[in-house]
Amino acid sequence: MALANRINVVGSDELSRIHEATVQVLETTGVEFKSDEALALFRENGAQVDGHRVKIPRALLEKSLGTAPSSITLWGRDEKKCVTLGEGQTRTHVEPSNGCVFTHDMDRGRRSSTLADLIDFYKLAHQSSVCTISGAIPVEPNDVPIEERHLRIFFETLKHTDKPLKRNVQPGHEIEEMFEMYELAVGKGYLADHPSIYASVNPLSPLAFDTEPIETIMTYARHHQPVTVLSCALAGISAPMSLLGAAVLQNSEILSGLVLSQMVTPGAGVIYAPATAVPNMMNAQYVTGSPESHLINIVNLQMALELYHLPTRTMAGLNDAKVPDAQAGFETMQNLMQCMLGGSHIINECLGVLDSIMTNSFEKFIMDEEMISRVLRFMKGVEGFHTDLSTELIDAIGPQGSFLMHPTTMKNCRTAWRPTVSDWENHEKWEKQGAEDAMTRANRIYKERLAACPESTLDPELEAELSAFVEKRLG
Amino acid sequence: MADLKTITETLIAGDDEALVRNVQEALDGGMKAGTILSDALIAGMDVVGSRMESGEMYIPEVLMSAMCMGAAVEVLKPFLSEGDTTSAGTVVIGTVKGDLHDIGKNLVVMMMQSAGFEVIDLGVDVEVETFLEAIREKKPNIVGISALLTTTMPMMKSTVDQISESGLRDGVKIMVGGAPVDQAFADAIGADAYAADAGSASKLAKAMLA
């Protein structure tokens, strides 16, 4: 029995008002698409196109919402690791952080990230039971030449995980190359009926899509792979300062991306990803730890869950702390609870991330796993044995008795949630075991995990084939 | 016939019915009660103790093993000779006057009993005079004093003081424990030992008498 309620920010009647406001924005203001191919498609489907500006009529929007699936099965190279995204899903799915340019750890501090750091983050994600989707680019491999990165990163992704994958915006030809490479591993033609990789695509807020994000949406849709349209507007900068105004703008952006995808391939998966933030208005900078940001995003989650029936995704473990300190802990937990209890199907930017997505920390990865596991446990609610009201047992033990020695306690005592990095010992034992704080324990744990991780998840023959593919393409 | 190893395993698994059956079978098969007690049961509880310390066993499981131990000893009792029942020592234990908390103290009692101590549990809210009487009568090796409240901690000191004033201090080792208590407090009130939890209490008690 899951929790009886999700967190709702607005009542259901407000949702139809937001939907109508969105229709108005799409019909009268419109959205800019910087792609002739996309513009032609919109024109064919009855949208009014003026230069790059596309005014999307209600009928086209509603038709697209009708074909976008309410749930997506996403396959891993290990098919046992396949996940259901959206309706019918049984737990929140978790993907690694993405887009950090610095790596932080206790021993070496903050530094420009390298390929070796990226591989270590892939290894941690692959072994993590909390993390059900891998891929992304947890840290930028700054030591790999830019023109080689897309292939080298994807090679390492395939080498170090067999979970379902998340990827980023790329030019169309790079995506084609990547799918070709993936099918070397899983068999030619596999992707056509096995969604396995989704890309996260950002509109250029407010109300525009640049060329590469458009190519990404269209290429993925053509290959029956899902996209997640992630709007990350800043309220007061690239969106209205009004929280519901920001929700309307964000909804308009995400839905216009959805329309594009459905025009290419009706039924292609679209994951609705609200990620708008209330910035630091003192200096107009992006910050991620405001308790107000998810007042916007949860309204959008409500739209997706209640009105549109779409799979959803939010950036849930964000914080603005520079090191894994107390601020990192409380901002992360705030955002995790808001997003997860708001009903987000997938969470991202929640395994290691620090410093408004600039830095990824190995120790924080370990701490985040535990924070997520705490919320996952909470979300399972009260089920099974826990629904026993126990009146007979209470009567049998009586006042001043002890339940500690009752067989029901012994039988179930191991089912209770346990921490993986928090310390629950008494002071003496903690001292005896080295008086480690959470950071020190996390440092020890991540190193143990890396040491125990296999060097490759590929069989040697396939690995050689993929490597040869990469070298050939790079000339 | 159940061998020693099987008996130890059923004890650790906390299966009282199987344990009693195995012990009975072993006796019927001619195994000596003293051997079963020392080589299967007490040896098994040593394993339980160290598994509790390492976190492999949880307290309810440890308590279940301890209860099984009690049930098995009942089966063995009629067959044990004088030399078989060498107790690890005698412990008088209680929660001080003014304090009604006993969950931690009861865990210590269970752990000490299963480690082979004879434990006289005076309960909660124990008057100093009751401690003194028990020391005179039972001549324990160890006196265990427990408190959970910061407001009853001074009563631990006065209990220790009065044991000294009554001339009984030299005959016993005094152990203290409870959430607000630490080694520094134990030293300050003149106790011999402090234990942070039930597992370390029984281990420490054994070590003090070794």
Domain boundaries along the sequence of chain B:
4-85, 89-209
Who has greater pLDDT, B198 or B6? B6
pLDDT-flagged residues of chain A (< 70): 1
What residues of chain B lie within 8 A of the CB of A410, using their CB?
A: 14, 60-61, 63-64
pLDDT for A1 = 56
pLDDT beyond 80 at B83: no
Which residue among A404, A414, A426 sits closest to B63, beta carbon to beta carbon? A404
Beta carbons of A153 and A184 less than 8 angstroms apart: no
* Residue A446 CB-half CA count within 13 A: 28
Coil vs helix vs strand at B209: helix
Contact between A405 and B196 using a beta-carbon 8 Å cutoff: no
- What span, in angstroms and rounded, lies between the C-alpha atoms of A362 and A446? 7
Neighbours of A20 (CB within 10 A): 12
Determine phi and psi for A33, rounding to 5 degrees: -120, 120
B63/chain A closest Cα distance in angstroms: 6
Per residue, what are the HEC states of chain A? CCCCCCCCCCCHHHHHHHHHHHHHHHHHHCEEECCHHHHHHHHHCCCEEECCEEECCHHHHHHHHHHCCCEEEECCCCHHHCEEEECCCCCCEECCCCCECEEEECCCEEEECCHHHHHHHHHHHHHCCCCCCEECCCECCCCCCHHHHHHHHHHHHHHHCCCCEEEECCCHHHHHHHHHHHHHHHCCCHHHHCCCEEEEECCCCCCEECHHHHHHHHHHHHCCCCEEEEECCEECCCECCCHHHHHHHHHHHHHHHHHHHHHHCCCCCEEEEECCECCECCCCECCCCCCCHHHHHHHHHHHHHHHHCCCEEEECCCCCCCCCCHHHHHHHHHHHHHHHHCCCCEEECCCCEEHHHCEEEHHHHHHHHHHHHHHHHHHHCCCHHHHCCCHHHHHHHCCCCCCCCCHHHHHHHHHCCCCCCCCCCCHHHHHHCCCCCHHHHHHHHHHHHHHHCCCCCCCHHHHHHHHHHHHHHHC
pLDDT of residue A185: 97
Query: Which two structure tokens, joined as six digits, stand for A241?
Result: 């300062």
In a 3-state reduction of DSSP, which class is residue B145?
strand
Phi/psi zone of residue B182: left (φ > 0), alpha (ψ -120 to 50 degrees), beta?
Answer: beta
Nearest-CA distance B29 → chain A (Å): 31
Q: Angle at Cα A448 formed by Cα A445 and Cα A453, nearest 5°?
A: 125
pLDDT higher than 80, residue B48: yes
Task: Check if B182 contacts A (Cβ < 8 Å).
Answer: yes
What tokens were used for A83? Answer: 């996940």
pTM of the entire structure?
0.92
What is the reported pLDDT for B1?
A: 62
The interface predicted TM-score (ipTM) is 0.80
B47: burial class by Cβ within 10 Å (0-12, 13-18, 19+)? middle
Cα–Cα dist A461/A403, whole Å: 58
Q: Which residues of B touch A402 (CB under 8 A)?
A: 103, 106
User: Rounded to an integer, what is the distance from CA A260 to the centroid of its chain?
Assistant: 22
Taking the CA of residue B196 and the nearest CA in chain A, the distance in Å comes to 6
Band the pLDDT of B199: cuts 50, 70, 90.
confident
Q: Do B61 and A410 touch (CB under 8 A)?
A: yes
Interchain CB contact of B18 with A (< 8 Å): no
* HSE-CB of B120 using CA atoms within 13 angstroms: 19
C-alpha A367/C-alpha A8 separation (Å) is 27
- Residue whose pair of structure tokens reads 């997520």 in the numeric block: A372
Segment A256-297, tens digit of pLDDT: 999 999 999 999 999 999 999 999 999 999 999 999 999 999
Tell me which architecture the domain covering B4-85 has in CATH: Orthogonal Bundle (1.10)
Residue A104 amino acid letter: H
The answer to whether the bond into A206 is cis (omega within 30° of 0) is yes
- Model pLDDT, residue A39: 98
Residue B86 pLDDT grade (very low, low, confident, very high; cuts 50, 70, 90): low
Q: Chain A contacts of B107, Cβ < 8 Å? A: 404
Domain A66-380 CATH superfamily? Trimethylamine methyltransferase-like (3.20.20.480)
Mean per-residue pLDDT, B78-107: 87
Q: pLDDT per residue over B168-187, tens digit each?
A: 999 999 999 998 999 999 99
Domain boundaries, given as residue ranges, for chain A: 66-380, 384-415
**Are the C-beta atoms of residues B4 and B40 closer than 8 Å to each other?**
yes
Rounded Cα distance, B177 and B185, in Å: 10
* Cβ pair A345, A86 in contact under 8 A: yes
Check if the beta carbon of residue A183 is closer than 8 Å to that of residue A75.
Answer: no
Report how far residue A288's alpha carbon sits from residue A399's, in angstroms, rounded to the nearest whole number. 50
Interface test with A, best of B11, B12, B54, B63 (most A CBs within 10 A): B63
Q: Which of A150, A175, A239, A172 is nearest to A38 (CA)?
A: A172
- Could you give the angle at which helices A293-302 and A12-24 cross, rounded to 10 degrees? 90
B58, B103, B197 member nearest A414 (Cβ) = B58
Q: Does domain B89-209 have CATH number 3.40.50.280?
A: yes
Confidence tier at B110 by pLDDT (50, 70, 90): confident
Q: Give the DSSP H or E segment for B18.
A: helix B16-28
Q: B177 by DSSP, 3-state: which?
A: strand
**What residues of A are in the B interface, CB distance below 8 Å?**
402, 404-405, 407, 409-410, 413-414, 426-429
Residue A312: per-residue pLDDT:
98
